[in-house]
Copies of this chain bind each other. A is one copy, B any other.
Amino acid sequence: MKIAVDAMGGDNAPQAIIAGVEQARDQYSDLEFQLYGDPAKVKPLIKNSERLTMVATTEEITMGEEPVRAIRKKKDSSIVRAAKAVKDGEAEAFFSAGNTGAVLAAGIFIVGRIKGIDRPGLTSVLPITKPGSARHSFVYLDTGANAESKEHNLVQYGFLGKFYAENVLGVKNPRIALLNNGAEEDKGDKLHKAVWQDLNDEADLNFVGNIESGDLLYGKADVVVSDGWTANAALKATEGTAKMMLTLIKHGILNGGLRAKLGYLLLKPVFHQIGKQMSTSTYGGAVLLGLKAPVVKTHGSSDATAVTNTIAQIHTMLTSGVIEKTVEFFGQASSVDKDDKNE
């Protein structure tokens, strides 16, 4: 199985990318990598070129660039070339730590959507941190690929999330919830009320009702479906608050004198565990679900370990056949829709 890697994207590229890829290569004997980037910068970093192929590119899409314009203009960028390799069947998945918008645009316009899906959803795996919870993570989409979503997009996210939870996380009959502004079934605006009804009507979905953003980490669902706007706001608030709490503790310790510093030393294992649980890199990258191949974007700040974890996630996606199962389902669903229309 071949993964096309954008070697140039991310704050720590190409160092962290290459180191992470080499770790993953050593871990998975069935993986091969195509590294897209500037050979002058990438080649000296490679320790062992086993199952690594360098593909020279001459352009780079930077963090601030307008995504759609960038992928149209910079045809020889590492992002566009790696995505094109997947489209042309030269690789089976695309990995990047670069400009999120450009990766999404390359996924949609170059790799291409699964038939029957018009709005792929950006999907993150987030921690369930409630002590004693049976499960430790859940699937959350759309975290921001679309600023405006329609009713049928959210229903499709239910299925995309279900297949991902089943095949990649190994959850049987995953509980699907809808992010809304209240837990009761009559909550929400027109869109969310309609989606509640649709999800509840789907016999193939184990729909457990609405969930509020304050309960995201509490393990009430295995898949949380949302429009991209709301999920994005709730996700950023969750990440920002977790980071702020750790900053406050750190600041309190630094200003608390010897007593606080001693307390910190004693509690270090506890803080370490919490930091790990709350860290996005523990759970891999964000996947643009609804595409013909795995397109996975990891945090720009990813280190080598985060890169390796994300490639492990791609490996599971490839071996589990999650994409093929999704293609098959939506292929059938679209023909059913067509039949309905012909009646």
**Nearest chain B CB to A275's CB is how many angstroms away?**
10
Q: Mark A244-272, 1 if CB is under 8 A from B, else 0.
A: 11111101110010011011111101110
A270 to B250, CA, bound (A): 9
Which of B130, B144, B215, B263 touches A181 (beta carbons < 8 Å)?
Answer: B144
Question: How many chain copies?
Answer: 2
A129 in the interface, Cβ–Cβ < 8 Å?
Answer: yes
B253 lies within 8 A of A270 (CB)? yes
Chain B residues with Cβ under 8 A from A240's Cβ? Answer: 212-218, 238
User: Taking A249-B270, A267-B264, A274-B249 as contacts, is the C-beta distance between A218 and B234 under 8 angstroms?
Assistant: no
Which B residues touch A235, using CB under 8 A? 237
**In residues 184-228 of chain A, which contact B (Cβ within 8 Å)?**
188-190, 212-218
Q: How far is the CA of A222 from the CA of B69 in the complex (A)?
A: 35
Closest to A252 in B: B270
Name A272's closest neighbour in chain B (CB-CB).
B252
Partner of A274, one of B131, B189, B248: B248
Point out the residues of chain B lying under 8 angstroms from A265, CB to CB.
263
Distance in angstroms from A287 CB to nearest chain B CB is 20
A147 at interface, CB cutoff 8 A: yes
Return the chain B residue nearest A179 by Cβ: B233
How long is the Cα–Cα vector from A243 to B229 in the complex, in angstroms? 24
The count of chain A contact residues (Cβ–Cβ below 8 Å) is 57
A251 B131 Cβ-Cβ under 8 A: yes
List of B residues within 8 angstroms of A181 by Cβ: 144, 147, 229, 232-233
Which A residues fall within an 8 A CB radius of B? 129-131, 144, 147-148, 179, 181, 188-190, 212-218, 229-230, 232-249, 251-253, 256, 259-260, 262-267, 269-271, 273-274, 277-278
Inter-chain contacts of A253 with B (CB < 8 A): 267, 270
What is the CA–CA distance of A236 and B260 in the complex, to the nearest angstrom?
31
Q: Which residue of B lies closest to A188 (CB)?
A: B147
16 A-B pairs (CB sep. < 8 Å) = A213-B233, A215-B240, A217-B241, A218-B244, A233-B233, A238-B241, A248-B277, A252-B269, A252-B270, A256-B269, A256-B270, A259-B266, A260-B267, A262-B263, A263-B265, A263-B267
Please report the C-alpha to C-alpha distance between residue A33 and residue B35 in the assembled complex, in whole angstroms: 73
B230 and A148 within 8 A (CB): no
The answer to whether A237 and B263 touch across the interface, beta carbons within 8 angstroms, is no
> Are B266 and A260 interface neighbours, CB within 8 A?
yes
Q: In whole Å, how far is A181's beta carbon from the nearest beta carbon of chain B?
A: 5
